Amino acid sequence: MYRSLRLLLSRQPAVRPRNSALTEKLIAWLEKIERQHPREIDLDLERVRPVFGRLRLRSRHVPTVTVAGTNGKGSCVAYLDTIFRAAGLRTGVYTSPHLQRFNERICIDGQPAEDAAIITALEQVEAAREPATLTYFEHSTLAALWLFSEAAVDVRVLEVGMGGRLDAVNLVDADVAVITSIDLDHQGWLGDDRTAIAREKAGVLRGGRPGIIGDPDPPATIAQVADDCGARLLYLGQDFDFARSDAAWDWRGTVTAYDDLPRPGFGGPEQYANAACALAAVEQMAPQVRVDRDMITAGLAMARLPGRLQHLRGANDWILDVAHNGAAAKKLASALTAEPRRTIAVVGMVKDKPVEAFATALDSVVAEWVAVSDGHPRSLPPPELAARLESCVAGPVSSADSIENGLVQAAAAAAGRSRILVSGSFHVVGPALHHLSQHA
């Protein structure tokens, strides 16, 4: 999967010492499922659904929130997880991609699943798979659902991988669906404009159940899909809303309201909208799930998510952000503008990402660029990325043959006088976070 797959899977130390033999076995399993299907991305629920049925998950109903959207999914999931746990609920949370270890994708009660548990789950999916083949993401999704069933979680929070309608997460009928935002990304699979992309993401909606819409200007196709299936939509700015102040923020929903909530503990100003969507979803989960103000406050205060405008300070000041499309880059640029300072950017991007839109959005706040790659076949080689950056930015552009060398190069250029931004891909921010935790 990655040239440095074994390093990527072993970067983040566990709370307890891990069994190296189990880690090697998990790596072997992940390498196996990465090779199993002829295509890395193959959106096809009809191929996956029979395997899901053969897993024979426990029949009891588990309250579930599914979160889709171009940007903000992971943040919304993080708030939902901590709020539910503050309410005393045992959570099963599935996200993708991971920053440092695969285990991050499958969390039970706030803790990444152990190697042995994931191996058992992958074995169960493999036993139910034949004669179908599954993609890496599909196999991982089914493994997560099996683990949540075995762990008897009280509530599931599932992040869509891509789109929604044909994503493996959409095998589950969510009690509440959230669509955080609609912007251009994954056009090769989801469509060329916001209208088409919105239609795909709206596929997570279910008849008679609420859908939380966080986009300030949602394409009409979301309402069309909702009308067709009978879903009930609640819109940010109409059915629920928030107001910010310097020290706190207020939220109002359809039946409840909370004043003086703690500010989001990570990211930039966009986190208020993500948190507002999470609170709307929590409200709509009643009476299956009930929370009070103290639980809301504790959950919001507890939420953290690495790689979202994350600051690391040492000899140089570093900012790590997983923005990888034009819309996310605009929000990142706005956050950087609020604290003006000369900035050097270390950037790596996947081949299907909008390099020009990403770079143009950041051009006014970045003085110098360093192009890098994680070595994955889908990632742009540094010289090619550097050439594309040069075509649309004003500052000088260089390249490095590895993420680590790019960080060293940027640090030398900054010399404590400039801040350094690392962005463009989860698979650049993750290794950078590991390197900086060891050397910054």
Nearest Cα to 378, choosing from 306, 315, 428?
Answer: 428
The mean pLDDT value for 33-49 works out to 89
Peptide bond connecting 97 to the previous residue in cis, omega within 30 degrees of 0: yes
pLDDT beyond 50 at 16: no
212: three-class secondary structure by DSSP: strand
List the domain boundaries for the chain.
5-302, 310-439
3-state secondary structure of 66: strand
Q: Verify cis geometry, omega within 30 degrees of 0, for the bond prior to 396.
A: no
Q: Is the pLDDT of residue 11 over 80?
A: no
Length in residues, the chain = 440
Question: What is the Cα–Cα distance from 308 to 440, expressed in whole angstroms?
Answer: 18
pLDDT value at 429 more than 60: yes
Contact 427, 97 (CB under 8 A): yes
Q: Please write the tens of the pLDDT for every residue from 278-308.
A: 999 999 999 999 999 999 999 999 999 999 9
Per CATH, which fold does 5-302 belong to?
UDP-N-acetylmuramoyl-L-alanine:D-glutamate ligase (3.40.1190)
The first and second tokens of residue 98, run together, are 């991971």
Using alpha carbons only, how large is the chain's radius of gyration in Å? 21
Helix intervals (H) in 114-219: 115-129, 136-150, 187-190, 194-201
Residue 350: DSSP 8-state: B
pLDDT at residue 440 in the model = 59
Task: Rounding to the nearest 10 degrees, give the CA dihedral for residues 138, 139, 140, 145.
Answer: 90
What value does the mean pLDDT take over residues 165-188?
94
Q: C-alpha angle 46/153/99, rounded to 5°?
A: 70
Beta bridge partners, 251, equal: 242, 258
pLDDT over threshold 50, residue 14:
no
Q: Which CATH number among 3.20.20.70, 2.30.30.90, 3.90.190.20, 3.90.1570.10 corresponds to the domain 310-439?
A: 3.90.190.20
pLDDT, tens digit, 9 for 90 and up, residues 250-285: 999 999 999 999 999 999 999 999 999 999 999 999
In this prediction the pTM is 0.94
Q: Which pairing describes strands 419-423 and 317-320: parallel, antiparallel, or unpaired?
A: parallel
Ramachandran class of 308: left when φ > 0, alpha when ψ lies in -120 to 50, beta otherwise: beta
Mean pLDDT, residues 156-174: 97
Question: Which pairs from 285-292 meet CB under 8 Å and 24+ separation?
Answer: 285/63, 285/65, 285/155, 285/175, 285/176, 288/63, 288/175, 289/63, 289/84, 289/87, 289/89, 289/155, 290/87, 291/83, 291/84, 291/86, 291/87
For residue range 103-128, what is the model confidence (pLDDT) as tens digits?
Answer: 999 999 999 999 999 999 999 999 99
Candidates 135, 160, 156, 129; CA nearest to 145 is 156
| Alpha-carbon distances of 11 from 7, 8, 97, rounded to whole Å | 6, 6, 15
186 and 352 Cβ atoms separated by less than 8 Å: yes
Q: pLDDT at residue 12 above 50?
A: no
Q: What percent of the chain has pLDDT over 70?
A: 95
